[in-house]
Structure 1
Amino acid sequence: MSGRHASRMESQAAPPPARVLLLEPFYGGSHKQLLDLLSAHLDSCVAFTAPAKKWHWRARTSALYFSQKVPPNPGYRVLFCSSVLNLCELAALRPDLARLKKVLYFHENQLVYPVRKEQDRDFQYGYNQILSCLVADAVVFNSAFNMDSFLSSLSPFLNKIPDLRPPQDLLALIRPKCQVLHFPLHLADVDRLLPTNKLPAAAHGDDVITPPTRPDSPETALHIVWPHRWEHDKDPQLFLSTMLKLKDEGLDFRLSVLGETFTDVPEEFSRCRPLLEPHVLHWGGLACRERYLEVLRQADLVLSTARHEFFGVAMLEAVHCGCYPLCPKALVYPEIFPAEYLYATPQQLLKRLRNFCTQPRHVRAHTLKVDTSRFSWDVLKGAYQSLLSP
């Protein structure tokens, strides 16, 4: 059990009986954010976690680990886990947990997760997620794109099996269990760092929540923020090559390159850092969340170059801080962002950034048309309470 969760429970004289068991094999990033929200705001939850390291080994072995780590508890009624966990293995190893209402949450799906070469795709990870769906009672996706891409890829994925393919239509078994429940953003900690003129309308007592409007400001250089994991699926090559083109054209801009780093950092970052040095304000993840949100608040534009995105927490947090979003016209983005914030090609991206660098006041005076409130914990809390009811 993670020390934070354990210490909180031990400090209570008479904790309520635990009814919801939360399991997270990859306790970091959005996985951690979701588990922390559920633990903090829903009653009768107990959480068991493993550090966000060695993702592939977590997917392979965490079922065995949790089967031995979680003590029996007759009070449990619901089990909630992310799709990193092989729920099928856990249910076989722990029949007492198999009897619970089992909720499987997909932050991503391995059937369409991008790989550099299709032959490099490890069939087992997607196969494990399919097996987990078969034993789950509810299968929940953070976006319609995530759910639709998983369900539409299921049959082609299983057709890769050379023989002894499942004779039954697994799609017919899994689809009825599926639903979309957006990832809940905890926006309160963002709001308290915003100046009054950038707060959502609801903070001033209005009935309708609208995204903040960035006030017009002096013609200082455009501040671009890229707040994504430093991994190949976020396409840092496109991002950095575009920044170098802006630099080579003599355009003025400021750059904050944030996001988590892991063991294998793409070489583009170290190669391009010296070339972009005159434009860099921040380079690397910020450990302090308040400092991270402060940088988002100061930025003008948030950029995604992702080749994989099933929801996009960082983009929505930046928009809530008043950043103008630019996203690919693909993946989950058309589900969340109006067409004016989407680009179809690298050439379109470069053209739009070129115009914004030339006239940053157009970005700062723009009224954002993205309703972040519909993804807030306050709005989604009831749906999660219902999901985690026995």
Structure 2
Amino acid sequence: MSVLLIEAFYGGSHKQLVDLLREEIEDCVLFTLPAKKWHWKARTAALYFMQTVPASSDYRILFASSVLNLTELVALRPDLGKLKKVLYFHENQLIYPVQKCQETDFQYGYNQILSCLVADSVVFNSAYNMESFLSSIGKFLKLMPDHRPKCLERMIRPKCQVLYFPVKFPDVNRFMPEHKLAHNGAKGNGNTCPFMSLPFQEKNYETVGLTKSCSSDQGSADSKTETECCTPLQERLHNLLTTPRGTIQETPSETFEQGMAQRSRPQAFLAFPEIPGELDCQQKPLHIVWPHRWEHDKDPESFFKILLKMKQMEISFHVSVLGETFTHVPVIFSEAKKALGSSVLHWGYLPSKDEYFQVLCMADVVISTAKHEFFGVAMIEAVYCGCYPLCPKALVYPEIFPAEYLYSTPEQLFKRLQNFCKRPDIVRKHLYKGETAQFSWAALRGKFRSLLTTEPKEDL
């Protein structure tokens, strides 16, 4: 194996990237640690991999995310230090927003600086990530009381490059509602959805999970028709948006605690709010989706504050709250779920990618209120599924999305959502105006292949 992939936090976008590289790049071997207790992984992963990664003369390249303390690993394993060392930054700790100033741990940012110094190539998932890291090195090191090192930015910058996170998209046509297919020039009929060519769709990508059932306990779908292999969640979401009130059987919602206890199964909490009469698809309440990690840096408080204000004003909308949870879940989630009541369509993490994309396809608007974002895979995936994005005019978002989709203040976000709720047809007829092809695996494949190839060093 010529490429040694090491991921100290094997979850979310970190997992997506190394899984994609292992699938698409020849001669890769992957070693990982679970996506739990991030701070401990950042502190101790090097020691674990020192003992776990076997010695091999076949390695030529070491690829790791910046969670790993690369400096410690190459010191503990001199054989790995001889490889071409590529460090990939999904985020950087120099500008991470902490809830309290005293919570700042100097060591995490310091480790990333050291790792850059020993790496041969330092790769960032966005220009915002790279520049915010490099320009913050001097200020960050001023936290040291004395004997501060100098010129580190000048030493690190020549190694740096931007290589956007590569997103490999499945064909989600069969999950699309009629209005999304129609305004993209396709015609749907009943339960079958023809191919919809989105600006950055991977036409040659096949996902077994899209033609088979999502998990083993649902049985094989090999002999089923396309309609029959739709998952229960897809059917419920489709029925909600296409069937008049009174023809859908309501089911009691699970509690928040039950949902968290059963995260290993793709349980969907669905509620069915009042939908008057025979409304066509353009008149049904706006469906808002929030697909981010349930952590403070994504600022769920601001998001729910706006939704609760609209709820108090009796503005009609639906909301789906997706995203992974970790050890500490902000209390606002349980409070907001109860307060939003019948406006909630889905609540909780969906381990199945099929069901995750189904929810995105049925949504109209995707929202970010993040205070910490260096790329935003979830936002790109939602746009791919036909959602209208609304993002802060800050962080990485101006680099990714046109100005039309950015807001400057929570008040602006509220006003735009309020207007969309009054006229959801405007959103549903909208064609996304951004350029998204640059974020696809098809566009980035060659650059990643070049990054992960090298001539063997003489001393290997």
TM-score (norm 2): 0.77
SS at match of 2:93: coil
Structure 1 residue 261: deviation in Å? Answer: 0.8
Aligned residue identity for 2:161:
Q
Structure 1 residues 88 and 198: alpha-carbon distance in aligned structure 2, compared to 1, 3 A threshold? farther
Structure 1 residue 199: deviation in Å? Answer: 6.8
Query: Are 2:53 and 1:70 aligned?
Result: yes
Distance (Å, rounded) in 2 between the aligned partners of 1:376 and 1:127 = 32
In structure 2, what is the equivalent of residue 246 of structure 1?
310
In structure 1, what is the equivalent of residue 268 of structure 2?
none
Structure 1 residue 160: deviation in Å? Answer: 1.1
Distance (Å, rounded) in 2 between the aligned partners of 1:101 and 1:197 = 49
Structure 1 residues 59 and 198: alpha-carbon distance in aligned structure 2, compared to 1, 3 A threshold? farther
Aligned residue identity for 2:166:
P
Structure 1 residues 199 and 141: alpha-carbon distance in aligned structure 2, compared to 1, 3 A threshold? farther
Q: For the Cα contact (< 8 Å) 1:91–1:98, is it kept in 2? A: yes
In structure 2, what is the equivalent of residue 53 of structure 1?
36
In structure 1, what is the equivalent of residue 128 of structure 2?
145
Structure 1 residue 263: deviation in Å? Answer: 1.3
**Which of residues 353, 357, 364 in structure 2 aligns to 1:293?**
357
The superposition leaves residues 122-181 of structure 1 with CA deviations (integer Å, 9 ceiling, x where unpaired) of: 000000000000000000000000001001100000111101211x41111100000000
In structure 2, what is the equivalent of residue 209 of structure 1?
199
Distance (Å, rounded) in 2 between the aligned partners of 1:325 and 1:61 = 38
In structure 2, what is the equivalent of residue 263 of structure 1?
327
In structure 2, what is the equivalent of residue 186 of structure 1?
168
The superposition leaves residues 37-81 of structure 1 with CA deviations (integer Å, 9 ceiling, x where unpaired) of: 000110000000011011000000000100110010101100000
Distance (Å, rounded) in 1 between the aligned partners of 2:436 and 2:15 = 20
In structure 2, what is the equivalent of residue 108 of structure 1?
91
Query: Are 2:346 and 1:364 aligned?
Result: no
Distance (Å, rounded) in 2 between the aligned partners of 1:364 and 1:190 = 17
Structure 1 residues 200 and 134: alpha-carbon distance in aligned structure 2, compared to 1, 3 A threshold? farther
Structure 1 residue 209: deviation in Å? Answer: 3.3
Q: What percentage of aligned pairs have identical amino acids?
A: 63
Q: Which runs of 4+ in 1 moved over 6 A?
A: 198-201, 203-206
SS at match of 1:254: strand
Alignment of 1:90-129 (within 5 A): 90-129=73-112
Structure 1 residues 198 and 132: alpha-carbon distance in aligned structure 2, compared to 1, 3 A threshold? farther
The superposition leaves residues 296-341 of structure 1 with CA deviations (integer Å, 9 ceiling, x where unpaired) of: 0000000001011000000000000000000000000000000110
Distance (Å, rounded) in 2 between the aligned partners of 1:101 and 1:158 = 27
Structure 1 residue 373: deviation in Å? Answer: 2.2
Structure 1 residue 197: deviation in Å? Answer: 4.5
Aligned residue identity for 2:312:
D
In structure 2, what is the equivalent of residue 172 of structure 1?
154
Q: For the Cα contact (< 8 Å) 1:198–1:322, is it kept in 2? A: no
Q: For the Cα contact (< 8 Å) 1:191–1:199, is it kept in 2? A: no
In structure 2, what is the equivalent of residue 316 of structure 1?
380
Q: For the Cα contact (< 8 Å) 1:92–1:98, is it kept in 2? A: yes
In structure 2, what is the equivalent of residue 7 of structure 1?
none
Distance (Å, rounded) in 2 between the aligned partners of 1:164 and 1:219 = 65
In structure 1, what is the equivalent of residue 69 of structure 2?
86
Distance (Å, rounded) in 1 between the aligned partners of 2:166 and 2:394 = 22
Structure 1 residues 157 and 132: alpha-carbon distance in aligned structure 2, compared to 1, 3 A threshold? same
Q: For the Cα contact (< 8 Å) 1:223–1:254, is it kept in 2? A: yes
Distance (Å, rounded) in 2 between the aligned partners of 1:347 and 1:268 = 20
Aligned residue identity for 1:276:
L
Distance (Å, rounded) in 2 between the aligned partners of 1:67 and 1:135 = 17
Query: Are 2:369 and 1:386 aligned?
Result: no
In structure 2, runs of 5+ residues without a counterpart are 187-193, 202-279, 455-460
Structure 1 residues 199 and 238: alpha-carbon distance in aligned structure 2, compared to 1, 3 A threshold? same
Structure 1 residue 217: deviation in Å? Answer: 3.5
In structure 2, what is the equivalent of residue 344 of structure 1?
408
Distance (Å, rounded) in 2 between the aligned partners of 1:375 and 1:199 = 20
Structure 1 residue 262: deviation in Å? Answer: 1.0
Higher helix share: 1
Distance (Å, rounded) in 2 between the aligned partners of 1:119 and 1:108 = 21
Distance (Å, rounded) in 1 between the aligned partners of 2:396 and 2:127 = 8
SS at match of 1:286: coil
Decide which moves more: 184-193 or 322-331. Answer: 184-193
Structure 1 residues 82 and 191: alpha-carbon distance in aligned structure 2, compared to 1, 3 A threshold? farther
In structure 1, what is the equivalent of residue 231 of structure 2?
none
In structure 2, what is the equivalent of residue 28 of structure 1?
11
TM-score (norm 1): 0.90
